[in-house]
Amino acid sequence: MFEIRNLSRHFGTKVAVDDVSFSIPEGQMVGVIGRSGAGKSTLLRMINRLADPTAGSIRYGDVEIVSLKGEALRRWRRDCAMIFQQFNLVPRLDVLTNVLLGRLNHRSTALSVMNLFSRDERIMAIAALERLGIEQTVLQAAGTLSGGQQQRVAIARALMQEPRVILADEPIASLDPLNAKVVMDALADINRRDGITVITNLHTLDTARAYCQRILGMAEGRVVFDGPPAELTAEVVRRIYGAEDDFDERMTSTSITPQWVPAPETVPGLAMQAAAAM
Ligand SMILES: Nc1ncnc2c1ncn2[C@@H]1O[C@H](COP(=O)(O)OP(=O)(O)OP(=O)(O)O)[C@@H](O)[C@H]1O
Ligand SMILES: [Mg+2]
């Protein structure tokens, strides 16, 4: 459970996030929408402390996230996986190694540097890739994959962290509609089946409507809407995106629809075989 109270972030005289308060129960899938510059990324980055708040509080359970330091902050970043628009993979490394990098916060630096991932971790990585339907890319350099495949590798890497929360900053903004759907279906499946809280910034309204049980609308650093998709009326949409008379919802649309069929079960036999071959 998140309790965010009076959270603000200033950059000089610019107020990126302005006195925002809301709570998120465990296991929700929340979409954050708003115009460019509304403060969506800054809000997400404060939650995993890539950005420090100017004021306010972020509590997760009974932990105050804003004051975490050192080892405790490292643990929080492990619990709270981040997915970016540009994937942030290491392009020259193979997919398996990229996914295993999600384990870094679970182990000591010395072991990480020596690149000693355990057999169990390799099996776990391949199972994550199978779950996302890209196990065939395991030995390929990450930079040679399509955008949709790269984002699925990034999600597999996030799963390796065994996170409690996934924060996704415009995860589909660089993808075509088909890949966007695959990636959103994967995030929704992880939210539903694993009970992991997902908070995702989205630049398309219809995607937020289709996938998120709750939507936060931001404008000029403030939360101007907080509710289920059914309450996102045309008037509310104008409040979020600005009051231009000619606002056309299609401008924020990628026309993708969710696929609620669960991902295929992973095949442990296959994972064991692949791990044995490495
Ligand atoms: N590091 C920074 N230094 C100065 N100003 C910043 C910084 N990061 C964000 N801002 C400003 O804060 C405001 C909110 O930015 P933010 O990136 O959070 O918006 P956003 O809603 O994610 O926008 P977009 O949809 O374009 O990603 C913007 O005016 C931005 O210019
Ligand atoms: Mg942003």
What does the pLDDT look like over 172-197, one tens digit per residue?
A: 999 999 999 999 999 999 999 999 99
Contact 31, 200 (CB under 8 A): yes
Higher pLDDT, 11 or 272: 11
Question: Percent of the chain scored above 70 by pLDDT?
Answer: 84
pLDDT in the model for residue 257 = 67
Whole-angstrom distance, CA of residue 7 vs CA of residue 277 = 50
pLDDT in the model for residue 267 = 36
Confidence label for 115 from pLDDT (cuts 50, 70 and 90): low
Confidence label for 47 from pLDDT (cuts 50, 70 and 90): very high
pLDDT > 60? residue 248: no
Q: Whole-model pTM above 0.75?
A: yes
14 lines ligand 1 (CB under 6 A): yes
Ligand 1 atom with the shortest distance to the CA of 39: 18
Q: Can you read off the two tokens belonging to residue 177?
A: 């509609």
pLDDT > 90? residue 242: no
11 lines ligand 1 (CB under 6 A): yes
Residue nearest to atom 29 of ligand 1 (CA): 37
Ligand 1 atom with the shortest distance to the CA of 44: 18
The sheet that has 2-11: what strands, in order across it?
Answer: 14-24, 2-11, 55-60, 63-64
**Of 54, 24, 28, 5, residue with least CA distance to 213:** 28
pLDDT in the model for residue 256 = 66
Structural domains in the chain, sorted by start: 2-277 (3.40.50.300)
Q: Of 3-12, 94-103, 119-128, 267-276, where does mean pLDDT reach its minimum?
A: 267-276
